[in-house]
Structure 1
């Protein structure tokens, strides 16, 4: 291929009427041939440049889209993470509140059971005292009854009807005493 320097330095031999037409034509043919090659290469290269420029624009657009997508994905991930943390904190807080309620309820139940236990102990003590009193009253009544029987036997024997009447009186008195004790 002819370089621009070769074209610039080219000298044509002189002939009778000027330059040798054949050598000028031959040189021009070489230049035209090389120029056509360059022109075709230039067009091909421009086409390649346009194709590559289009691809570059596509890649730049794709890169911008990817950057935007990554930014959106990162912000979404941050938002999801934040939301998950907030939900976790809320769940923990709710669990702690529920646990505290359960503990307070259990303490209240224990307090109620203890009060009920203390009340039952008092009731048992009261029942025991009343029952002991009742039994003592019965024993006293029986003692009195036997003393009366011993005294009346010494005085006179009772008939069957009189014995039944005395037994009924003693039983009625015992029942009244039981009613008075609240048993």
Structure 2
């Protein structure tokens, strides 16, 4: 690639009917300046393009990281959801089991209470039978001791006196 310095220093051979030397030099000088400006602009644009490419690559990496993070977050959320569902199912099963156990305990208590009540009723009925038998005996004794014959005997005993010898 030709440089601006080479354009400025370019020498041409002289001919009889050649161009005016000052015009050629001015043109070459102007050409060298424009070439230098374009070259500088080209360098700046290349640098800017490299900077932009670097930034784009940086943003691509950030995007990739964000995508990976999003996928990981979705997987984690799904795991948390599944674990929560499993825990809820386990809690529900434990609750059902405990309720069933509690109901069985209450059923056993009711059976024992019914058995106790039956035994108590049997004992009370036995005592009631004894009481009724005792009442019959007392009634029989009352009938005997409050009978007319006994009253007569008691009256005679009251009237009787001891005989002295």
Q: 3-state DSSP class of the match of 1:157?
A: helix
Unaligned runs of 5+ residues in structure 1 are 1-13, 159-183
CA distance in 2, matches of 1:129, 1:32: 142
* Alignment match, 1:56: 56
Cα RMSD (Å) of the superposition?
Answer: 2.8
* Alignment match, 2:22: 22
* Alignment match, 1:71: 71
Shift of 1:56: 1.1
Instruction: Give per-residue Cα distances to partners, 1:49-102, cap 9 Å, x unaligned.
Output: 121112112111111111121122111111111111111111111111111112
Unaligned runs of 5+ residues in structure 2 are 1-13, 159-165
* Alignment match, 1:132: 132
Q: 3-state DSSP class of the match of 2:157?
A: coil
Shift of 1:150: 2.1
Q: 3-state DSSP class of the match of 2:130?
A: helix
* Alignment match, 2:6: none
CA distance in 2, matches of 1:23, 1:151: 182
CA distance in 2, matches of 1:61, 1:96: 52
CA distance in 2, matches of 1:58, 1:130: 106
Shift of 1:116: 2.0
* Alignment match, 2:153: 153
* Alignment match, 1:170: none
CA distance in 2, matches of 1:151, 1:37: 161
Shift of 1:146: 4.6
Instruction: Give per-residue Cα distances to partners, 1:113-137, cap 9 Å, x unaligned.
Output: 2222222222222221111011112
* Alignment match, 1:110: 110
CA distance in 2, matches of 1:105, 1:20: 124
CA distance in 2, matches of 1:149, 1:124: 38
TM-score (norm 2): 0.74
CA distance in 2, matches of 1:126, 1:24: 149
Does residue 86 in structure 1 map to residue 86 in structure 2? yes
CA distance in 1, matches of 2:20, 2:101: 117
Aligned residues: 145
Shift of 1:28: 2.0
